[in-house]
Each structure stands twice: as C-alpha cells, then as structure tokens.
Structure 1
C-alpha cells in the first residue's frame, strides 16, 4: 500500500455510547437526529460506500452492495472532545480526563495572564463562543480587553476583534496562556477566536489558531514520520498534535477548502498518511445547534466525494470517520459522547465487509500501521485481515 487517508468528519457521531449517560448525553445521535429533525438527509455517495449499512445507524439507507467496508467504533478514552478523539484515532488512550473549568479560571491564573498581556480581560466563564461575543463584543471594542472563556471541553479560549487586537498580538496572548495553563492547570488547547464585524453582526473568521499540549506518548504519526513516511495534516490536525509527528501541514478556510487540499495532496507524489479534518460540522453547526446547516454541510461534502475517490491511486485507501459527536438537536452547546462511523474504500479493499463494532477508535491506527508496515507500539486491534483483498 502507498497511502492511507484519514478523513475526519468532525463531530459526525452516529449514536450514544453505552456510557453516554455518564457524560450527560442521553439519546444523542448526531447523524440520526439531524436526519429526523430536517426531514431526511441525502448522502448518496457515502451511502454507496456503506455508511447506511453500519449497525444502528439512522437516517441513511443501507444498500445491497456497498462499495467499501464499514463499521463503527467505541471510545475508550475518558472524554468527548477533539483532542481526546484525535489522539485515540492514532493510538493513544486518554484514561485521565483533561482539566476543565466549568466555573471559569482561578483568580491567580487570570491575574497572571492580565499582568503578562498588559490588559484586563472580559468574561472568564463557560459559554458559547458566538453568544459571548454577542454579549461582550461591544465592551471589548470600547476597552480593548480580550474575551476569555471556556466550555465543557478542556480549553482556554481568547476572542478578539481583528481590528481591535491584531492577529499577531492575539496569537502572542495565546502563547502566554499556553505557558500558564500547564502542570496542574494544563488544558488540552488554548484557542485563538478572532472575529470581525459590527455590534449586532459579529462573525468569527477562519484565522482561528489552536495551541495544544503535546500528546503524552508516541502516536501512529510519530512512528510513520520516523520511518521516513510523509505525514500530512490538513485543517487543524497540526494544531491538535502541536505539530508532533507531522511532516507537512496546511490550514484550511472551511470544509470545501479541506476537501480541495486533500484532493491536491492525493495528486502529488507522496507516501504515507494524509490526515484531514473538516471542522465546520462541529464549529459552525454542532456547537451552534443548527441542524439544518449541519445537514446542508454534510450533503455539500457528500457531493464532493466522487472527486476525492477519483484522485485515489491504485494502492491508496481512504477511511471516513469522526472524532466524537455534536448532536445539534440536544440540549446545551457541547460535544456528545457517541460512536463514530468507519467507512473504508480503495481498490484493494473488499466490498461489503462489515468490520463490526470496534472497541476503540485506536483500531483505525493499528490497522493503518499494519497496512503501511509501520512498527508502532500503540493501542488498538487491527482489522486489516478483514478488509484487504
């Protein structure tokens, strides 16, 4: 095999995990509930590959002769966020939950941050990003104080209008916060959340930047890089892994740009792993509880699938999957604890094979390691034997 594409449809969960109630998520099903709430969802191309044949999936019809292999996976790690999900996808189990701050950050942290940036801050609470910008945006413009907030995830987020705090200064603030939020206060990500517009009409821009922790152990990406393979991160992949294990990276403006860049890299002469994340499903529609927007974005992506498949070479494989759920029909604005889909396609993949319910997202990593002959001491159980012709 030449290359494997890990194509992450960010937050496209397909049903509550058995322990979902422990995370406050009862009856969640991102894909199924979107379909039910919007009068049906049409994903003709993913359906043809086997998406609708996955056990328990709702809203997408099964086909008689799927062109790919298919199944779903449970999450072993203790969490339901981007970092935990992606780390497990490449072979790490996060057993100890990453630190969260549902009541805001401690006074000593905020005081130290304010001293280092030379300004006061606004916010310091858990909130929806769009809502807190609407709430505090005018005061931010009047004072020049950045808006600091968090969520149910392990994050320290800093929002600022691009005309009030320039991007380079916002990014510097994030680097300062990253230095403070370590040790006992370590959070998974510091996130720059720039926005533009006027009061009453603010919108976040594509200039988001994430400052992550290094993964606590070696991942599939590290082992692939050591072997001399290309490990290409498209979208926010580089940020999620703090650059660790990545040989080349490109940030994207939106889902369609992520798909375009994936196709461009498939046309190039590289060998190894292409790791793509399409974040709009999560950021623009899941967190904002916009089921109709989520549906349209999924259908827009699905229409581009033939172009992606056409760009695959004879010895390439693509794995369509997710990292967690974010059911827009559920209460609150946070991620949801769900199964993720696994749909695998390539000229060397058996058609219509059901790989069942995998016990960990890391089974994807172990399978890729075997397919690409990467010696990797990572979690997971390979399903290579089930899917290769």
Structure 2
C-alpha cells in the first residue's frame, strides 16, 4: 500500500498578480503578495523564498533564488469569479462555465419572507453588501435589542448571518443557516455563512465558531475520486465546509492560522497516508478584507517560520504544495477579493525548477490525483516534472 502523503496548504487570498481579465472585475493592477511587501518596503520570507516565491513574482525583500529547493510557478483561474468556493472547486477539478449568483443590491424580499417564516426569526437587519466587521459594529446593538439577525452579502456569492451568541444561541444560528442553505440551493448561492460574534456595543468581535454551509459542487471532485479509491482525505480548517464534506474522510476544525499550522504539523506526525488539505483563513478574513497590510505581512512571516517544521515532518516521497484560491489585495480599492493568479510552490524531495504559468487551478488537483494513481478528468498534471525529485 502507498504510504506517501500529499499536503496542500491554501494561504487563503494570497494572490500573486492580476489575471488578464481582472479589469472586468474592477481588479486591474491587483497583486496581493507583491503589494503587501512593497507597501512595507520589503518583507523577510526566507523559507518561502527558498522554495521559489521570488522566482514567481517580484516580492520586495524576497529575491529570486538561483537554485531554489522547490518547484515554482503560478496558476490562472479558468472559472468566472474570484471567491473561495469557485477557486477551491476548480483546484479539485470542477470548472464553472457560469458564475455563482451575486446579490449586489441585497436579497429579494420574497426570499427573506420565506426564510423568516421557516426560521421564526423576528426580522432582519442590514440586507446589504457590507464588511462583516463593520456591519456588526453598526447594527450589533440594535440586533441585541430586537433579536433580529444581521443579514448581509459581499462581492462573493454568500448569504451571511451574523448574531451575538448572547442573543441568539449558536445552535439556533446554525439552524437558521441550514434553512437558508436549503432555500438558496436553486439560486446557486455558493455559501451560507454563520457569523457569530461576542462583546459589547462598539467592541464586538467575531469568533472562530463561524460555520459555512456550502452548495455541493456541480460535478465530482478529485476529493471524491480519492476517497472512493481508498485514499484518506483529511480536511483542515474550512476545507470540509467548502466542499460540503463530500470526499472528506476526517475533519479537523481550527481557530485561525497558528492553530491550523500546529494541527498540520501534528497530523504529519500521525497520518500514515493520504491527502492532507489545509485552508489558512486568517490571510483573507482578518487581514485582506480589513485592508490590514501589516497584519497580512505578519501572517506571511508566521507561515514562513512554520514551514521548516512542516517540511521536517515529511517522509521520503511526500509532496507539499502551497497555493491560494484568489486574491484579496489589501492595498486595492474596496474590501473585496481580487481576481488574481495564485502562487504554486511545491516541495518534492528538495529539488526545484519552474512549473511555469498553469492554465487552470485544476492542474493541482490533477497532480494530486496522479500522485495516488487515480485518473483525473480535468487539468494537466505536473507530476512528471516533480517525480524525479520524489
């Protein structure tokens, strides 16, 4: 039996330069990693640099490595959109032809009436495109006074429900979101997100009890093919939520990047074989959307510092790939995701080389499938390029 492991680390939103069609999304010139580094006059990321990050794009403080220890490149997104669900689906072999539903003017009254009738909630506040951290400060006190949940969306395909845990019990919030998920399925809304928060007026903070209720992918993913072939698939962070738990053998909940990295390190000490698929959400949730350049840079440094510990846990034949699902340039206008390439850094035995510009995120899924001897229906595997190193 194959005892090797394939590890995918998704630095959620760590894009590396605008896609050719970025102007259609209002994202021309965006470059999350490049602009974070430039805004601070440079950033020290020696371990990411050793894998070839500086060979992929210009990152102030991370020069190109003349002999990188990793395979390096970047991937373009074929699917329309710039959201978590679309990016992750494409990564695992599901490419969309039509974008998921967006609600830039809020949700229709008839939809909200049906939701309120089934949930029994006393009404809604908000129903607008908003920043999650801003809207709870603005409407949190009224929410606590009336019991009405705060409903909002963004430039992504999401129906988000925020509620104070002292006003709406967590299980009630989850039940309300489960009802919304079922009602929104026909409209192709990607995610319903429970956004619990705590605190007092003017000092509200969101908790890590967030829960995503995702639309099932409209096709089979590599994850399902792997599990059907007997390959364990461990989802860490919000990975199980993103894929509606389809193709996931084991779920590991995390409380932010530091916890996710620690749990990944621990799992590499116990997991015998299979795919370890990790999402590090703080890049996006805490720093990208909040336009916190310094926080984003700090999170990159924390990831860089953790890399040697993760690589030390790998066994001969294991592969670790680091990538992203979209951009969220904190120097760009607005607070939304940005339509970007994503980096592709692969550790495979200590050798390196260029993987070029991949035509689709699905190349990563195809490579992962081929690694375990499972046929992939979509994507071009780069396994032959890294096999000599494993």
TM over 0.5: yes
Instruction: Determine the structure 2 residue equivalent to 1:250.
Output: 252
- SS of the equivalent of 1:113 reads helix
Residue 133 of structure 1, CA deviation: 0.5
Instruction: Determine the structure 2 residue equivalent to 1:157.
Output: 160
- Would you say 1:301 and 2:309 are equivalent positions? no
CA distance in 2, matches of 1:339, 1:221: 23
Structure 2: gaps spanning 5 or more residues: none
CA distance in 2, matches of 1:354, 1:57: 15
Select 1:201's aligned residue among 200, 203, 213: 203
- Would you say 1:360 and 2:363 are equivalent positions? no
CA distance in 2, matches of 1:381, 1:123: 44
CA distance in 2, matches of 1:135, 1:366: 45
Summarize the alignment of residues 1-389 of structure 1 with structure 2, pairs less than 5 Å apart: 2-54=4-56, 56-59=57-60, 60-118=62-120, 119-183=122-186, 185-347=187-349, 351-377=351-377, 379-389=378-388
CA distance in 1, matches of 2:134, 2:7: 35
Which ranges of 4 or more aligned residues in structure 1 deviate by more than 4 Å? none
Residue 269 of structure 1, CA deviation: 3.7
Give the TM-score normalised by the residue count of structure 1.
0.97
- SS of the equivalent of 1:67 reads coil
- Length, aligned pairs only: 384
Superposed CA offset, 1:152-180 (max 9, x none): 00000000001110100000010011111
Superposed CA offset, 1:12-68 (max 9, x none): 0000011100111011000011111122111111111111111x3333311121111
Residue 93 of structure 1, CA deviation: 0.6
Task: Name the stretch that deviates more: 83-92 or 363-372.
Answer: 363-372
Superposed CA offset, 1:263-283 (max 9, x none): 111111431211000000000
Structure 1: gaps spanning 5 or more residues: none
Give the TM-score normalised by the residue count of structure 2.
0.97
Superposed CA offset, 1:182-237 (max 9, x none): 21x22000000000011011100000000001111111101100001100000000
Superposed CA offset, 1:342-385 (max 9, x none): 010032x6x231010000010111111112111232x1011111
| Contact residue 348 and residue 386 of structure 2 kept, 8 A | no
CA distance in 1, matches of 2:271, 2:293: 39
| Contact residue 194 and residue 208 of structure 1 kept, 8 A | yes
| Contact residue 14 and residue 57 of structure 1 kept, 8 A | no
Superposed CA offset, 1:231-271 (max 9, x none): 00000000000000100011100101111111111111431
- SS of the equivalent of 1:5 reads strand
Q: CA RMSD in A?
A: 1.0
- SS of the equivalent of 2:321 reads strand
| Contact residue 79 and residue 97 of structure 1 kept, 8 A | yes
CA distance in 1, matches of 2:132, 2:66: 43
